[in-house]
Amino acid sequence: MSDAANLAVLRDRIRRIEQPAAGINGVVPFGCAALDCALPGGGLARGAVHEILGQAGDEEDGAAAAGFAASIIARLGAGPVLWCLKRPDLYGPGLLAHGLGPARLVLVSAPRDDRILWAVEEGLRAARAAGLAAVVGEVGRLPMVAGRRLQLAAERTGAIALLLRRWRSGDEAAAERNRPSAAVTRWRIASLPAAEIPGEKGIGRPRWRVELLRCRGGAPASWEMEVADATGHVCVPAELADRPPARRYSLGPSLRRAG
């Protein structure tokens, strides 16, 4: 056998060792060619842990991260979603705007990171029996061991775990931000100034910078894209240059009073 063939076989074997999840459990494509091409297997691996970070001040609030997570879950089937967090500050109508119906959510509040990680792990282990579409956890600290446990639990049941990293302060964020973890991918979602809509004042089409910071078996990448719509669809604006501008909400100073 030639060296090149040997090398190819070895590479293939290494890839199988490195990313068994993608092989066994399949992937969830974003439906957006730019993103899917950057991910091994053509989408977000099922049966894996994915980390989603915020940017700057949003590292505390995790709003963009929650929107991105909602858009991922929107493409994951109709089961309930276990969302473990410290304080239930999610807002149903806002999530719905990114494709996640709030009726599917089961919120689990726990005061500490380790309790949240425990709840996420329980959810992942029972994901198949309970029919969960995904398990979301909002944590500050993610120790390597805990991440490994989650990854193993997710691989076993084929469920997707999304870990939104939220830090209480800038100092905590600086300490934790670049720490390695056992997650398969790490994303950072930052709000970008909205794209102007010609001829209209105010905020135009809101945009994100979606960064793939780490990806097992893939390379980091970064995109500027439109915020996920009500079907959870994300897209790179260049792809829809011909689309008519999104309908704008005209908010005159109309008095909205019930009755």
Which residues here bind another protein, judged by CB under 8 A?
56-58, 60-64, 66-68, 70, 80, 82, 88-98, 102-103, 105-110, 115, 118-119, 122-123, 126, 128-132, 189-194, 202-204, 206-208, 227-228, 230, 249, 251, 253-259
Q: Write down the least CB distance from residue 152 to another protein, Å.
A: 18
CB 69 within 8 A of CB 52: yes
Backbone phi, then psi, for 20, in 5-degree steps? Answer: -65, -30
Q: Closer CB to another protein, residue 27 or residue 50?
A: 50
Query: Is 42:152 a contact under the CB 8 Å cutoff?
Result: no
Closest contact distance (angstroms) between CB of 84 and another protein is 9
Strand-pair category, 160-165 with 134-139: parallel
Contacts of 200 (CB under 8 A, 6+ apart): 245, 248
Nearest distance from C-beta of residue 178 to another protein, angstroms:
20
The residue (of 5 and 249) whose beta carbon lies closer to another protein is 249
- Please state the closest distance from residue 134 (CB atom) to another protein, in A: 14
Between 18 and 114, whose beta carbon lies closer to another protein?
A: 114
Q: Does an H or E element contain 135, and which?
A: strand 134-139
* Closest of 168, 102, 176 to residue 136, by C-alpha: 102
- Quick one: 21 or 110, whose CB is closer to another protein? 110
Of 43 and 54, which CB lies nearer to another protein in the complex structure? 54
Q: Rounded to whole angstroms, how far apart are CA atoms 14 and 34?
A: 25
Degrees to nearest 5, angle at CA 69 with 155 and 210: 105
- The count of other CB atoms within 10 Å of the CB of residue 158 is 17
Q: How far is the CB of 157 from another protein (least distance, A)?
A: 10
CA distance 162 to 134: 8
**Nearer of residues 22 and 136 to another protein, judged by Cβ:** 136
| C-alpha distance across the termini of the chain, in Å | 82
